Structure 1
Amino acid sequence: MQLVVYILVYPLLWLISRLPFKIIYFISDGVYVLLYHVIGYRKKVVRNNLVLAFPEKSDEERLLIEKEFYKHFCDMFLEMIKTLGITNKQMKKRYVFTNVEVMQKLENEGKNIMIMMPHYASWEWVFSLNSMVKSKAYAIYQPIQNKYFDRLVRNIRSKYGTTLIKTYESRNIIAAAKETNELITVGIISDQSPMLQRARHWTKFMDVLVPIHVGAEELCKSHGMIPVYLKVKKVGRGYYQATFKILTENPSVIANYEISEAFMKETEKSIREAPEYYFWTHKRWKHKDKVPKEFQKDTSKAVSS
């Protein structure tokens, strides 16, 4: 059945990927009407998240963010498909790295790099970075249940030479690179909500206490990787600017969880600047009512559990 669905859908995806951007966004407008006004995809989740994150805003202000988010959400989905047919010239024009020299300097110093990014603006086109750096690129990702679409997504994201790896593979790959002195860059999206039983650190995100992922920090500290935040701004429909910010050049000597907290603070800054570009369909705050007992009396600082 998975193969049948793939065979039926793939020709349509291929066709869309060959269309000019003007038509791509015309289709996106239609998908928005269907997804938001007809289906109402995850609308309740989005609204609850916006109330939690922006209690100071009026219902009208949050509704505007909501609608703009769904429009961007549809654009991103079509842009991912368009990656199949986008040219290098189009990519360089539409996804601009403002300070790639930060990455190149770290590489010249022989440093392995961990790029940490949130579900914000666009992360699908960040893979084009691989054409501008010399290190071997990996991206940690979650496989799609349909193995044929999973292979398609891996092919799309590997267009510029990035190798996609599963979470459990990352430690061995990074350790092997360290053993052989191979220069690598690993990308990871780190703003998801961890499973409660695996949560080791809690902090405030948009003024709500939640558990956060700390795996990227642990890899940096144990393998001497430099954590770099990738700040992405949407500057126009289908146009983005990505800027690198080093979170620390000495990950092994700073206190535990400072890297993870710095990442969350940078993410929050981006959200407050333009909230419509965050991925509000995620249940990012689903554990907010399950704060560890030892921390319930004082929510002014983070906690490890």
Structure 2
Amino acid sequence: MSARPAAPWSYRLLTWLLLALAHLPLAILHGLAGVIYLLLRYVVRYRWGVVLENLRNSFPEKSAAEVERIGHQFYWHFAQVVVEILKLAAISPAELRRRMRFVNPELMTRHFAENRTVLSLGSHRGNWEWILSGAALEFPGRAAGVYKPLTNNFFEYFMRRLRTRLGADAVPMLATLRYLVQHRGEGRTLSLLTDQAAGKDDRPYWTEFLHQEAGFYTSADRLAQQLDCAVLYVGIRRVRRGYYEVKFTELPDGRAVAAGANSPDDAQRFPATEAFIRQLEADIRATPEQYLWTHRRWKHKRPENQ
């Protein structure tokens, strides 16, 4: 765990407050989520316009009433995720195991048996922060996640604490390749949330995603090919309040990426990313309220020369 940053005394008070809240039973925290829902949706109206725009564009076949209903369901889901993420600061391993069920862990462990690195491609769906800690308990000593460091020293420290306290490694984005090379041949999994919006300087793979053109990062394909990694899609869904189900799906691995590396067809050059997108799209359609609609997923546009 990273050292506590030098910070104003108010940060220490904030730490005590957050930890005190985290020690409350989840039943109480879920009650608090109702207050958060009302504040986000009706008082602050946090990105309500962005949410509605994303939903309308993603589901043009749905009526205005249906879109608004999904929007309300999303805010209720999001409020629950907020308190559940905070709970990671105090939740016991036994309780998290009880609340996180891995449907088919054998898809992961068979690669570990071959001492192969697995790239686990996830998204901002379900409770994305619980996945890493749950995997650290399901696969002890083998789980790590890539994250983008925060600019605020306190929240960088606190979020890293949440992510690593149950045994996972947290890898800064720029250290991804170094981490993979360092642990190559050890049979580990590295989690990447790959649904963020890639900009023109990120060499994105452009494709249609939920009826809209979107650019996706291709780092999974490039890393898989370079280091002969297996690749799994990580699907997570809320089955009831505070309980989640995780299911792995095999995606094209590093060898498959290498086989299509010289293809003029982008979908064949980036098969892991393409397969990830289609799996994610299907999952979002199944439970649209469980996706993070507040981010501007489609803010970048394909350059005219691509």
Q: Normalising by structure 1, report the TM-score.
A: 0.91
How far has the Cα of 1:188 moved from its partner? 0.6
Preserved CA contact (<8 Å) 1:107 1:134: no
Post-superposition CA distance 1:148-204 (Å, at most 9, x none)? 2211111111122211111111112212323xx333211010000012232332011
* Segment drifting more, 259-268 vs 156-165: 156-165
Preserved CA contact (<8 Å) 2:93 2:166: no
* Segment drifting more, 11-20 vs 231-240: 11-20
In structure 1, give the amino acid aligned to 2:146.
I
- Cα distance between partner residues in 2 of 1:256 and 1:6: 47
Structure 1 gap ranges (5+)? 295-304
Instruction: Look up the match of 1:229.
Output: 233
Instruction: Look up the match of 2:265.
Output: none
Instruction: Look up the match of 1:142.
Output: 148
How far has the Cα of 1:55 moved from its partner? 1.1
In structure 2, give the amino acid aligned to 1:244.
F
Distance 1:195 1:6, change over 3 A: farther
How far has the Cα of 1:131 moved from its partner? 2.3
Q: Normalising by structure 2, report the TM-score.
A: 0.90
- Cα distance between partner residues in 1 of 2:10 and 2:50: 28
Residue 245 (1) aligns with residue 249 (2): yes
Percentage of matched positions with identical amino acids: 29
Alignment of structure 1 residues 39-78 onto 2, 5 Å: 39-78=44-83
Structure 2 gap ranges (5+)? 1-5, 261-267
Preserved CA contact (<8 Å) 1:6 1:149: no
Residue 271 (1) aligns with residue 302 (2): no
* Segment drifting more, 122-131 vs 105-114: 122-131
Aligned residues: 291
- Cα distance between partner residues in 1 of 2:190 and 2:280: 18
Secondary structure of 2:231's aligned partner: strand
Secondary structure of 1:143's aligned partner: coil
Residue 108 (1) aligns with residue 113 (2): yes
Distance 1:112 1:214, change over 3 A: same
Instruction: Look up the match of 2:182.
Output: 176
Secondary structure of 1:241's aligned partner: strand
Which of 239, 242, 256 is the matching residue for 2:269? 256
How far has the Cα of 1:264 moved from its partner? 0.7
Distance 1:276 1:225, change over 3 A: same
Preserved CA contact (<8 Å) 2:198 2:204: no
In structure 2, give the amino acid aligned to 1:205.
F
Which of 155, 163, 169 is the matching residue for 2:169? 163
Post-superposition CA distance 1:112-157 (Å, at most 9, x none)? 1000001001111112212222553221101122112211111111
Secondary structure of 1:89's aligned partner: helix
Q: What RMSD, in angstroms, separates the aligned Cα atoms of the two structures?
A: 1.6
Secondary structure of 2:198's aligned partner: coil
Instruction: Look up the match of 2:302.
Output: 291
Instruction: Look up the match of 2:97.
Output: 92
How far has the Cα of 1:14 moved from its partner? 0.9
In structure 1, give the amino acid aligned to 2:304.
K
Instruction: Look up the match of 1:130.
Output: 136
In structure 2, give the amino acid aligned to 1:97.
F
Distance 1:286 1:135, change over 3 A: same
Which of 154, 157, 173 is the matching residue for 2:160? 154
Secondary structure of 1:187's aligned partner: strand
Runs of 4+ in 1 over 6 A off after TM superposition: none
Post-superposition CA distance 1:14-60 (Å, at most 9, x none)? 11111112211110000111111000011111111111101111111
Post-superposition CA distance 1:48-78 (Å, at most 9, x none)? 1111101111111011100110111111110
Instruction: Look up the match of 1:301.
Output: none
Preserved CA contact (<8 Å) 2:145 2:169: yes
Secondary structure of 2:299's aligned partner: coil
Post-superposition CA distance 1:232-282 (Å, at most 9, x none)? 111001110001111024343243111111101111011000100000001
* Segment drifting more, 64-73 vs 2-11: 2-11
Distance 1:292 1:149, change over 3 A: closer
- Cα distance between partner residues in 1 of 2:138 and 2:98: 14
In structure 2, give the amino acid aligned to 1:58.
S
- Cα distance between partner residues in 1 of 2:111 and 2:140: 11
Preserved CA contact (<8 Å) 1:140 1:167: yes
- Cα distance between partner residues in 2 of 1:161 and 1:25: 25
Preserved CA contact (<8 Å) 1:17 1:81: yes
Preserved CA contact (<8 Å) 1:116 1:187: yes
Instruction: Look up the match of 1:297.
Output: none
Instruction: Look up the match of 1:211.
Output: 215
- Cα distance between partner residues in 2 of 1:210 and 1:200: 9
